Amino acid sequence: MTGDREPVGWDEPLTEADFLLLDEIRRVTEADDPVPDELVPIIRFAMEMQNLDEEVSWLSAASPAPADVRGGEVEDGVGTRTITFEGDGDSLTIMVRISGGADARGVRIDGWLAPPAGHRIELRTPAGELATVADEQGRFVLDDVPHGLAQLVVRPLRGSSDAESGPGLTVTTPAIVL
Amino acid sequence: MSGSDSVESVRDAAARTQRDRLALLLKASQEGRRDGLGQIIEELTPLLWRVARAQGLSTQDAEDAVQAAWLALLGNLGELRDPGALTGWLLVVVKRESWRVKAARDRERSVETEVLSDLIDPSIAPEGTVLEDERRQAVRSALGRLPERCQQLMRVVAFAHRPDYDAVAAALGMPRGSIGPTRGRCLAKLRALLDADPSWAVPS
């Protein structure tokens, strides 16, 4: 096929045959790379939790990783995941280690905040919230966390000395599946 | 009789219905309510997912980018006066978030950034009737032979309504008019490839 000439019919209006072809492309593409089942539930969960007038700083998982694993996520093969959530510039970084199998005790989350500070930590789940406070090294633990959808929210201490974050600037991670 | 007109209007009606729903949703959200959010999330998420994947993100990163776009919407409802602008707005945010995630990666990583065509193996055909298999395989094969950006455009725009074609092209960095109101070069190329493939022949 020559690249010199325009393909036939490129400047003609779209016809029903074109739309049928696009339908077929959609079906093929969806079959080969479907939207993950948990994505819409995760989004709806995260949006329900979000207050409309709350000013929130959004973190995302970022650092190199093999394909098909969240950027900041590492699995060690024994059922422990480590995820690092970062924001832009000097904003807060949260590292969490998620451990615990499918036993009745649920999931344990060990977390570290950087820069370290005793901020309030909330874990939002469909069943309600778990809350704790990080220590002055920024370390926190949440235990007996149910499997399923979860989202971490960090509320800075009042009178935080960190001029970058400022009081009231809540930080949230994407909702994930524990 | 203009058969194509009547079928076009069915599609346009679907687009209008979605736009009406968006208008109601925006009004409700701007008043502090969340009615109708769930449905519009279901409707638009596949398109946003496709854009994030077209940027070469892994499945997990694409999920996060799409989630980020929806949450960004909540913080910016006041910006949106026109419900018709919602889809385009979300597309821009998904693309921006996708680029942000990619930019945060180590450039020395051993796994190359995947392009969408690498993620999809054109030799795989799902179960189905023989005829369906052949036609579907013909589409897969033809798509795989398009230039990369055309392939991206085709795969993404297939999830959008016609009024949003310009917004999709813009989100992918393609020139306006790449598709709609005329066929455009990418779709014309694809049709030419299919016309040359006997297994694409339309059954009588």
Of the two residues B138 and A158, the one the predictor is more confident about is B138
If we measure between CA atoms, which residue out of A20, A17, A36 comes closest to residue A28? Answer: A20
Question: Which of B8, B114, B155 is the closest to A29 by Cβ?
Answer: B155
Q: What is the pLDDT of residue A66?
A: 39
The Cα of A65 is separated from the nearest Cα of chain B by a number of Å equal to 8
Of the two residues B74 and B175, the one the predictor is more confident about is B175
For residue A150, the Cα-to-chain-centroid distance in whole angstroms is 9
pLDDT digits (tens, 9 = 90+) for B132-143: 688 889 999 999
Q: Report the pLDDT averaged over residues B66-94.
A: 85
* pLDDT surpassing 50 at residue B180: yes
* pLDDT surpassing 80 at residue A169: no
Q: Which residue has the tokens 């024994």?
A: A78
Is A47 close to B74, i.e. CB distance below 8 A? yes
* pLDDT surpassing 50 at residue A167: no
Is B140 close to A27, i.e. CB distance below 8 A? no
- For residue A173, count other CB atoms closer than 10 A to its CB: 24
> Is residue A37 less than 8 Å (CB to CB) from chain B?
no
Residues facing residue A61 across a β-bridge? A85
The span from the CA of B13 to the CA of B17, in Å, is 6
Q: What is the pLDDT of residue A172?
A: 85
Taken in order B25, B26, B27, B30, the sign of the CA dihedral is positive
Is the complex ipTM higher than 0.90? no
> Three-class SS of residue A167?
coil
The span from the CA of B152 to the CA of B138, in Å, is 17
> Is residue A25 less than 8 Å (CB to CB) from chain B?
yes
* pLDDT surpassing 70 at residue B102: yes
Q: Going by C-beta distance under 8 Å and a sequence separation of 6 or more, which residues neighbour residue B108?
A: none
pLDDT digits (tens, 9 = 90+) for A113-151: 999 999 999 999 888 899 999 999 999 999 989 888 899
| pLDDT over 70 percentage in chain B | 79
* pLDDT surpassing 70 at residue A23: yes
Q: What is the pLDDT of residue B38?
A: 82
Residues of A in contact with B201 (CB under 8 A): none
* pLDDT surpassing 70 at residue A2: no
Residues of A in contact with B113 (CB under 8 A): none
> Are residues A82 and A112 in contact, defined by beta-carbon separation less than 8 angstroms?
no
Q: Going by C-beta distance under 8 Å and a sequence separation of 6 or more, which residues neighbour residue A7?
A: B185, B188, B189, B191, B192
- Return the minimum-mean-pLDDT range out of A59-63, B66-70, B96-100: A59-63
Q: Report the pLDDT averaged over residues B48-77.
A: 88
Element holding B144 (H helix, E strand): helix B130-144
Q: Report the pLDDT averaged over residues B145-165.
A: 95
Is B34 close to A43, i.e. CB distance below 8 A? no
Asked whether the bond before B181 is cis by omega within 30 degrees of 0, the reply is: yes
The Cα of B204 is separated from the nearest Cα of chain A by a number of Å equal to 15
Q: What is the pLDDT of residue A111?
A: 95
> Is residue B111 less than 8 Å (CB to CB) from chain A?
yes
Residues of A in contact with B58 (CB under 8 A): 65, 67-71
> Is residue B183 less than 8 Å (CB to CB) from chain A?
yes
Q: What is the pLDDT of residue A67?
A: 40
The span from the CA of A48 to the CA of B186, in Å, is 40
pLDDT digits (tens, 9 = 90+) for A84-119: 888 766 678 899 998 876 565 689 999 999 999 999
What rounded mean pLDDT belongs to chain B? 81
* pLDDT surpassing 50 at residue A165: no
The conformation of residue A13, written as its DSSP 8-state character, comes to B
Element holding B16 (H helix, E strand): helix B3-30
* pLDDT surpassing 80 at residue A46: yes
Question: Which of A7, A68, A86 is the closest to B60 by Cβ?
Answer: A68
Q: What is the pLDDT of residue B138?
A: 93
Is B187 close to A21, i.e. CB distance below 8 A? yes
Q: Report the pLDDT averaged over residues A164-170.
A: 55
Residues of A in contact with B116 (CB under 8 A): 33
123-182 of B, contacting A, C-beta below 8 A: 124, 126, 135-136, 139-140, 143, 154-155, 157-159, 162, 179-182
Of the two residues A34 and B116, the one the predictor is more confident about is A34
Question: Which region, left, alpha or beta, applies to residue B177 given φ > 0 means left and ψ of -120 to 50 means alpha?
Answer: left
Q: Report the pLDDT averaged over residues B196-203.
A: 79
Q: What is the pLDDT of residue A73?
A: 62
Q: What is the pLDDT of residue B27?
A: 79
Q: What is the pLDDT of residue B204?
A: 41
Asked whether the bond before A7 is cis by omega within 30 degrees of 0, the reply is: no
